[in-house]
Structure 1
Amino acid sequence: MFCGLGAALCLATGAASAQQAATAAAAEVLVGATVIVKGQALDEADRARARLDQVAGTVSVVNNADVERGRAANAEDVLAYQPGVFAAATSGNGANKISIRGSGLNAFYQGYSLGIKYLYDGLPITGPGGTQEDLLTLNGLDYTEVLNGANAFSYAALSLGGAINFVTHTGRSAPGTAIGVEAGSYGYRKYALSTGGVSADNHTDYYLAYFYNERDGFQRQTPNSGNEYVANLGHRFSDRLETRLTVRHRNEELRNGSTITLAQLAADPRQSNATTSARKKTGTTLVTSKTTLTLDDRAKLELGLAYNDYPLDNGWRYSTTPQDWRSTDGSMSLRYLRTGDTLFGKPSDTTIAFSDTRLLKGDVTAYDQNLATATRTTERQYTVYTGSRDTVLSFANELQLSEGLALSTGLSFIEVDRDAHIDRTILTTTEKFPRAVRYNDHAVAPRVGLRYQATPDLLVFANISRSVDPPVTWQMGSTGVPYIRPLKPQRATTGEIGLRAGSEAHEGTLSVYRSWISDELLSTVVRQASAGVDALIANANASKTIHQGIEAALTSKLWKNADDDRLSYRQAYTFSDFYYRGDARYGRNQLPSLPRHVYQGELLYQQAGGFYAGVNTRAMSGYYVDYANSLKAPSAVIWAAKFGYEAPGRKWKAYLDFRNLGDRHYASAASTVDNARGLDSASFYPGDGFSVYSGVVYRF
């Protein structure tokens, strides 16, 4: 019998499946790269899911094997069906708007993602300058962890949105050699080659991969292309000492289309007012190293190091004022984990973590450019951010108060350094802001959570936490104006209650949260992009705001026969209610830029022999695109379908993926303006029209 999200409480009526796996995790037996739980082998994604099921809050795990049943080109593909997460592609694999619980609500201009801490293999790619999107192509992944809000405490993530941790394939999760080819509408092409394996003594594993992507673009004159190398090498020196080194290197080139008006969207969504924000990444390099030392049966120490170099040539074509960005982050993390202790006579686990990410080298130079010859002439401005850093020291404890009740407590000490100063400029202004801002800010962020196993099939949780989002360097000032804004860190207190439940037929989560936010970091477009002129964005701290919502997800096994053919339905619903608490200018207006309601559902038939077929939908309500609440993006319902076959033993697989079956003209995302005065404005990024994609993977 079908159990929809409208009747989500029916989750509590069956026998546990996910929760049983989590409870059984204590009885795990390590056998190579798999875990045996009550006689059933779990892969790495299942292990992560069992571990995160012990978190007193909303978390989820995305197995990349499920995503790869269709096109898996960008964050919108990978983060679909995750409650509380909004992910929308605007330029193929090149630009994604990603928000969790309204984080980085409207700070989006096709290049950075804000309000979420992003990690690869537990080590950050997010630094004082935010997160550039070139590594969000999500190539070579085994699975992805999504931790909403303060539920990402274990990763020293104190952002309102939480954290997303991408876990790279190893030689154990992806053995053998694989060749993949994908192609589809609007010139989409992707090629992949990977090989992985484990040494004869089972001590060393390796995974090497190469990816190439290309797309002409949905909007005209908006091609993008890139290539990426991934290497992951792990070695176990002994039962107590192991280490892993991962390297990613990516080059890409993009020419993004402009936002368009509603009238243009209805008439011809492929048109573009101007080709703007042409970006070239001449070589992003991410190197991470993680070493784990098991001190004894109850304690271990983890040391992580990361080097992230991400240069950006922004506006290299079509802009009269291109910018050359140079950014290099260095990160160090240290975690001490101890289990099996007692506190007040109760079982106790403790974690102490330290994380430091600093901008080793950061600056931006803006130039005047001759569009006819694409040559740079006069230097306009030189701004430096070197030395900015984010440092976190946290203490966490899990106390088992009774057989079914656990108390989670945590306390983080945060130190933020921001150094932004304009060394040279030819620009002038009448604004009173300074040309340099240097500050050192300290904050404390506590977290308290309760997890209660009410029955073997029902887990109830609640938590309250504090989050701190310091401004990223370029929000304070970059090249468009000759001053630095002294922005304050955004702070919030969030409360959350919810449940996780499951049975043989149904498995899902339901949670409700509310965040009281002070000094929310918001952005608005002061000047729209036009031919040869980039958009101008203003950032500021808002008056007090509220973010609250509902996050729900449910997977249902609708039918299964004796041959193990099956029919399933998965769905996710997010309700987002974000508004001012009584602003002097905007009163209790809704905050713009995200739909209040987003629903995704997929009906999937899987034959035991390997064939599968599915139909899915994504529905979004309309939402305001200005703070004055005078202009809305239209609502949209988008349908899609896919078919595929995976040969027994995973020897080869193929898929056919149909998107936007009705060729609906819709806005995938929108930029934000102060007051549109109810008039149609160029604020909308068009979503892709009807498209078809196919892919084949062969494994040796």
Structure 2
Amino acid sequence: MKKKANSMRHEASRNHSIAASRAALLRSLSVGAALCISGGIAGAQEAAPQVEETVVIKAKALKESEKAKARLDKVPGTASVVNNADVERGRAANAEDVLAYQPGVFAAATSGTGANKISIRGSGLNTFYQGYSLGIKYLYDGLPITGPGGTQEDLLTLGGVDYTEILNGANAFAYSALSLGGAINFVTHTGRSSPGNFVSVEAGSYGYRKYQVSTGGVSASGDTDYYFAYIHNQRDGFQRNTPNTGEDYIFNLGHKFNDRLETRLVVRHRGEELMNGSTLSLAQIEADPRQNRLLSGRRKPGTTLITSKTTYTLDDQSKVEFGLAYNDYPLDNGWAYTTTPQDWKSTDLTTSLRYLRTGDRLFGKLSNSTVSFSSTNLVRGDVTGYNQNVATGVRTFSQYTKYSGSRDTVLALGNDLRLNDQTTLSTGLSFIEVDRDVRIENAIRANTTSNPQSVKYIDRTVAPRIGLRFEASPTLQFFGNVSRSVDPPVTWQIGSTGNPYLRPLMPQKATTAEVGLRANSDNHEGSLTFYRTWVSNELLTVQIAPPTVGNPLGDNVNMNASKTIHQGIEAGLSSKLWKSRAGDRVSYRQAYTWNDFNYRNDPTFGKNELPSLPRHVYQGELLFQQAGGFYAGLNVRATSSYYADFANTLKAPSVTIWGAKFGYEEPGKKWKAFLDFRNLGDKRYAVAANTAYDARALTTPAYNFYPGDGFSIYSGLSYRF
């Protein structure tokens, strides 16, 4: 046995020696072949024994937008990511530009100004939108700019943004967002995503101009990064007498203290002044869409948003995120050409805390859990109304309404449980507390109604969520979820300065079920979702009196509706149609949304459609990209007709708008230029609408439609150094 063992050891040693010799020979041959190609066999024979082979494999680092997409692909519902660099191949002036081609999202800029009508799944579908956006929670860098007073739109110009996350409906659970529409999170550039110095200039039709300078970088140690940007925008306007101008200052500073502790501070400041384009009748749009019947303006003396997020890693499995946000957003609404201007003061303070734990075992299954807390307090909120002499500009006091103390608070528990290699169960439970404190403290008009002058209540709701994601293959997954959503009324919906009384409004609550799939291959990537939402106390806005001189928005009433249904289809597909050996390629991206919103059995309107959003929306872009940097694209946006009144008697016509873009991106990414053509057919059309109660009862034409821009050309040039 001993001899046999020695023999086996000798044989193993011999085999190891042979293998080593073969490896050395292969190394010598490979090095010799390489040197033979470059300069001679003799040199290779001398060099071969002295060369050690080293193999280095470098993995491509993922961009932050790619990491976000990988994370959102694990959500059991509709969610998407927009890389703003893709948008900046053409004009990127407002939310309509950034949110294009996103399933389930409707975004339209009214006459190209900063006022955007944005709706997801019919959220805030018919609220007036010259100053506020409703039904969606908006965030910057994961911290909200939406509070008890809603979302003012001046920060929706999206300056200095790296990428944008869109989470439809309750799929925004991770951001403590429980609105029907979900959440949109804008992520600011850092010194890592936008290094060096950057200069860009854009100009175009209707006096459009945009200038930007920025600088960013990382310290020598790699622990600190910084980004600073200044942006100036202005436009004369498509409709006459609708100029707007604004300035953004953006600063982002991040620091990593050690492997466990890091923090980031982001400061945004924006001031703007603009004149609103008035609504027109369909006949007026057809005759002269550039006319502006009624002049009014809004001025933001300076919005300041300061966010801070600190992350502490407890161990390999858990970490804590602590966030603070200060948002001060004053508004001088109707500062010119109106008889009833208002001075708004609003300051939100948000505190957020998240605990994330991964890699646990629950019932023997892999489990990831989160606990999150978010509270946004309106620490100062009030509006002072005036009567104004339009000719002289002299103001006299009319009413003071206070909102301070209103609050939105959410505590959420979430868990992802890996049932098997293909199936993940997502569960969540949110505890929501809505505090509304609205009171008219002084008014020159007497309240002769039975409505109160003070409304204060606390509404507590439990909102569960359950979802399932099944990975049929590495390229195909199916998902479904059932979720609860809550949309509390914003403070000014209860009352502001129009009447000496308040209208108590209850939170809108809904249950949504959705099913869908995601699929990808070498040439195609897409998603398809079907959803249905049962809504109670839907918050709707109706225009009960048309706009007039001095009152350009007309008289609008906010109300809780009877039970309604929101359902639809959200579909998106990106395809690589062709690629040459040289690297030239042709791609096509498209998005389709079907909106079907209606009353269930309203005493007045029966099962009428809810107005103000197209039933069908399609967007597509065919893009050729040459390997050397040149690109050319053709795009289309088609919307079906839709009602503009609750009685379903007045319709906005369907429309198809074509556009094209051409540009060049230098392969080294130092400079790029573009030409962006909009509305090639110079169509006269309504881009968005306000909502009437019953158009048949109007004694004047239905001035409910905002005209879309006519044929326009935009150009841009940027350089990074």
| Bucket of the pairwise TM-score, normalised by the shorter protein | over 0.9
**1:466 corresponds to which residue?**
484
Scaled by the length of structure 2, the TM-score of the pair is: 0.91
**Residue in structure 2 matching 1:166, options 170, 180, 186:** 186
**Residues 468-514 of structure 1, C-alpha deviation per residue, up to 9 Å, x if partnerless?**
00000000000001111110000000000000001011100000000
Checking the alignment, whether the CA contact within 8 Å between 2:111 and 2:707 is kept in structure 1 is: no
What are the residue-to-residue correspondences of 1:124-203 with 2, within 5 Å? Answer: 124-203=144-223
**1:4 corresponds to which residue?**
none
Q: CA deviation at 1:683?
A: 0.3
Task: Kindly indicate whether structure 1 or structure 2 has the higher relative contact order, using CA contacts under 8 Å at least 6 residues apart.
Answer: 1
Which structure carries more helix by proportion? Answer: 2
Amino acid at match of 1:275: L
Measure the CA separation in 2 of the matches of 1:114 and 1:38.
Answer: 46
Measure the CA separation in 1 of the matches of 2:57 and 2:149.
Answer: 42
Measure the CA separation in 2 of the matches of 1:448 and 1:68.
Answer: 37
Task: Please tell me whether residue 434 in structure 1 is matched to residue 452 in structure 2.
Answer: yes
Measure the CA separation in 1 of the matches of 2:550 and 2:543.
Answer: 17
Checking the alignment, whether the CA contact within 8 Å between 1:84 and 1:574 is kept in structure 2 is: yes
**1:122 corresponds to which residue?**
142
**2:127 corresponds to which residue?**
107
Checking the alignment, whether the CA contact within 8 Å between 1:404 and 1:452 is kept in structure 2 is: yes
**Residues 125-165 of structure 1, C-alpha deviation per residue, up to 9 Å, x if partnerless?**
00000000000000000000000000000000000000000
Amino acid at match of 1:86: F
Checking the alignment, whether the CA contact within 8 Å between 2:451 and 2:501 is kept in structure 1 is: yes
**1:692 corresponds to which residue?**
713
Q: CA deviation at 1:430?
A: 4.0
What are the residue-to-residue correspondences of 1:399-478 with 2, within 5 Å? Answer: 399-478=417-496
What are the residue-to-residue correspondences of 1:295-694 with 2, within 5 Å? Answer: 295-376=314-395, 378-534=396-552, 535-677=554-696, 680-694=701-715
Measure the CA separation in 2 of the matches of 1:433 and 1:83.
Answer: 41
**1:24 corresponds to which residue?**
none
**1:14 corresponds to which residue?**
none
**Residues 416-455 of structure 1, C-alpha deviation per residue, up to 9 Å, x if partnerless?**
1000000001124543210000001100000000000011
Question: What secondary structure does 1:650 align onto?
Answer: coil
Task: Please tell me whether residue 94 in structure 1 is matched to residue 108 in structure 2.
Answer: no
Measure the CA separation in 2 of the matches of 1:590 and 1:430.
Answer: 35
Report percent identity of matched pairs. Answer: 70
**1:43 corresponds to which residue?**
63
Larger radius of gyration: 2
**1:262 corresponds to which residue?**
282
What are the residue-to-residue correspondences of 1:247-258 with 2, within 5 Å? Answer: 247-258=267-278
Amino acid at match of 1:610: G
Q: CA deviation at 1:108?
A: 2.0
Q: CA deviation at 1:208?
A: 0.1
Measure the CA separation in 2 of the matches of 1:399 and 1:532.
Answer: 58
Measure the CA separation in 2 of the matches of 1:173 and 1:220.
Answer: 39
**1:32 corresponds to which residue?**
none
Checking the alignment, whether the CA contact within 8 Å between 2:116 and 2:129 is kept in structure 1 is: no
Amino acid at match of 1:423: E
Checking the alignment, whether the CA contact within 8 Å between 1:575 and 1:597 is kept in structure 2 is: yes
Measure the CA separation in 2 of the matches of 1:38 and 1:57.
Answer: 34
Amino acid at match of 2:416: E
Question: What secondary structure does 2:613 align onto?
Answer: coil
Measure the CA separation in 2 of the matches of 1:101 and 1:37.
Answer: 46
Measure the CA separation in 1 of the matches of 2:295 and 2:229.
Answer: 33
Checking the alignment, whether the CA contact within 8 Å between 2:230 and 2:249 is kept in structure 1 is: yes
Scaled by the length of structure 1, the TM-score of the pair is: 0.94
Measure the CA separation in 2 of the matches of 1:447 and 1:223.
Answer: 46
Question: What secondary structure does 2:112 align onto?
Answer: coil
Amino acid at match of 1:381: Q
Cα 1:267–1:234 change in 2 (3 A) is: same
Amino acid at match of 2:377: R
Q: CA deviation at 1:61?
A: 0.0
**1:22 corresponds to which residue?**
none
Cα 1:85–1:37 change in 2 (3 A) is: farther
Checking the alignment, whether the CA contact within 8 Å between 1:84 and 1:101 is kept in structure 2 is: yes
Checking the alignment, whether the CA contact within 8 Å between 2:547 and 2:703 is kept in structure 1 is: no
**2:227 corresponds to which residue?**
207
**2:13 corresponds to which residue?**
none
Amino acid at match of 2:387: D
Checking the alignment, whether the CA contact within 8 Å between 1:265 and 1:666 is kept in structure 2 is: yes
**Residues 163-204 of structure 1, C-alpha deviation per residue, up to 9 Å, x if partnerless?**
000000000000000111000000000000000000000000
What are the residue-to-residue correspondences of 1:13-24 with 2, within 5 Å? Answer: none
Amino acid at match of 1:383: T
Question: What secondary structure does 2:696 align onto?
Answer: coil
Measure the CA separation in 2 of the matches of 1:57 and 1:452.
Answer: 12
Q: CA deviation at 1:41?
A: 3.0
Measure the CA separation in 1 of the matches of 2:468 and 2:666.
Answer: 44
What are the residue-to-residue correspondences of 1:49-88 with 2, within 5 Å? Answer: 49-88=69-108
Amino acid at match of 2:129: Y
Checking the alignment, whether the CA contact within 8 Å between 1:383 and 1:479 is kept in structure 2 is: yes
Checking the alignment, whether the CA contact within 8 Å between 2:467 and 2:480 is kept in structure 1 is: yes
**Residues 87-129 of structure 1, C-alpha deviation per residue, up to 9 Å, x if partnerless?**
0000424100000000011112311000000000000000000
Checking the alignment, whether the CA contact within 8 Å between 2:612 and 2:644 is kept in structure 1 is: yes
Measure the CA separation in 2 of the matches of 1:588 and 1:484.
Answer: 29
Q: CA deviation at 1:661?
A: 0.2
Checking the alignment, whether the CA contact within 8 Å between 1:93 and 1:137 is kept in structure 2 is: no
Checking the alignment, whether the CA contact within 8 Å between 1:241 and 1:292 is kept in structure 2 is: yes
Question: What secondary structure does 1:374 align onto?
Answer: coil
Measure the CA separation in 2 of the matches of 1:103 and 1:70.
Answer: 28
Amino acid at match of 1:372: A
Checking the alignment, whether the CA contact within 8 Å between 1:631 and 1:678 is kept in structure 2 is: no
Question: What secondary structure does 1:532 align onto?
Answer: coil
Question: What secondary structure does 1:194 align onto?
Answer: strand
**1:9 corresponds to which residue?**
none
Q: CA deviation at 1:46?
A: 0.5
Q: CA deviation at 1:257?
A: 1.6
Residue range with higher mean Cα deviation, 301-310 or 675-684: 675-684
Measure the CA separation in 2 of the matches of 1:499 and 1:441.
Answer: 36
Task: Please tell me whether residue 271 in structure 1 is matched to residue 279 in structure 2.
Answer: no
Question: What secondary structure does 1:677 align onto?
Answer: helix
Amino acid at match of 1:543: S
Q: CA deviation at 1:457?
A: 1.3
**1:30 corresponds to which residue?**
none
**1:236 corresponds to which residue?**
256
Checking the alignment, whether the CA contact within 8 Å between 2:210 and 2:234 is kept in structure 1 is: yes
Question: What secondary structure does 1:402 align onto?
Answer: coil
Question: What secondary structure does 1:136 align onto?
Answer: helix
Question: What secondary structure does 1:219 align onto?
Answer: coil
Amino acid at match of 2:59: G
Task: Please tell me whether residue 289 in structure 1 is matched to residue 308 in structure 2.
Answer: yes
* Structural RMSD (CA): 1.2
Measure the CA separation in 1 of the matches of 2:710 and 2:629.
Answer: 30
